[in-house]
Structure 1
């Protein structure tokens, strides 16, 4: 793949990430923010009066302009990184079309980068977690993420190596099983973090975590679909032009 194609894919990846970020922003605002407000209300109600601090940035600004800025910048950044990963993966993960490769990469990245770490260390709203352990919790989360990504890469390499001897189906089963087993061992040996206050509303916690998961699913699914279409049009223009051409040629 030449540098011009990589550059074009990078630009398309960032644009697709921006569009996917806009979709995720809608999910974050309508599903996530109400639960954040409830968690903040719980935190304020249980904090001593002398511990209330003046906000440098108002809650209204945080939940609108601040949220939009953060999500959209994240979308552009992860879109660019995913596009570079796509350039490396294209043609190396099987005989898939550019569109199918984008969807496969997005699905695997969602699983490895977010879902696997999330199941061990799920997202928490305000008022959940000891401020004194935030460094430890952050380190554990990123350690789980790094392990998950490395295990996913190792599983892909294992499946590719076993495919000539076992066939694609059985090689995939062995690779996925190995990934699940080693991930389960990581779950078992890494420390457990349980700092949810006993009186914190379970419904708020559950809905917050579901909204965090929904945001990531929207972001990655939206990116996979949008970037896949853009990559297909760039790398395989004949297939995208075939449908309009056949429509014009069809008898009236």
Structure 2
């Protein structure tokens, strides 16, 4: 793949990531923010009962609108650029798939490896859940699980490709998936458990917040896969010119 195509795919990846970010922003505002407000209300009520309220440096209305939009859209833009470069590397190396199928597979695998696997070990928590003194440790553990998941996914892909000539594509894929799941299970068992949810925190609110966080990521990744696959297909496999257009171009 030449540098022009890589640059074009990078730009299209960023545009697709930005568009997917808009979709994720809608989901975050409609589904996620009500649960964040409820969690903040719980935290404030708990703080007032202990007489240790804090001064609000940034208004909640600004956080839930401009702050939310800025964070998600910038994340979508950067995410799209990185995913576009990953697509350039993956195209033709993970099987005989076209641009649309490669983008869909890459998005699905990325969602599982980058978000779902770390999420199942260290799920997202709303405000008022977690001790402030342990935020650095919790963040480190989460990103460690993410890195391990991505490396294990890459290793499983390589394993499947190497086993395909001898076992066939179906069996090789099954072995690679089983190996990935087993390795992730070992990582789950080795890494420490983090459970800092207050006993009086509403279980239904915690569950709804985590589902909304998952929905945001699913929207982002699936939206990117569909949009970028379409853009990449048009770039790499342009539609043939119609007969009248071809004659006009020849003239």
Deviations 1:150-175 (A, max 9, x none): 00000000000000000000000000
Deviations 1:36-67 (A, max 9, x none): 00000000001146422221110000000100
- Residues matched between the structures, number: 242
Q: Which residue pairs with 1:169 in the alignment?
A: 170
Deviations 1:227-248 (A, max 9, x none): 000000000013xx58xx69xx
Q: Which residue pairs with 2:25 in the alignment?
A: 25
Distance 2:56 2:15 in 1: 34
Distance 2:29 2:207 in 1: 17
1:200 match: secondary structure = coil
RMSD, matched Cα: 1.2
Q: Which residue pairs with 2:248 in the alignment?
A: none
Give the alignment's TM-score, normalised by structure 1. 0.94
Gaps of 5+ in 1: 247-252
Q: Which residue pairs with 1:74 in the alignment?
A: 75
Distance 2:218 2:181 in 1: 20
Gaps of 5+ in 2: 244-251
Distance 1:185 1:231 in 2: 37
Distance 1:57 1:3 in 2: 44
Following superposition, the deviation at residue 83 of structure 1 comes to 0.2
Give the alignment's TM-score, normalised by structure 2. 0.94
2:134 match: secondary structure = helix
1:51 match: secondary structure = coil
Q: Which residue pairs with 2:133 in the alignment?
A: 132
Distance 2:181 2:72 in 1: 30
Q: Which residue pairs with 1:38 in the alignment?
A: 38
Deviations 1:93-152 (A, max 9, x none): 000010110000000000000000000000000000011110110010000000000000
Distance 1:189 1:198 in 2: 26
Runs of 4+ in structure 1 displaced over 6 angstroms? none
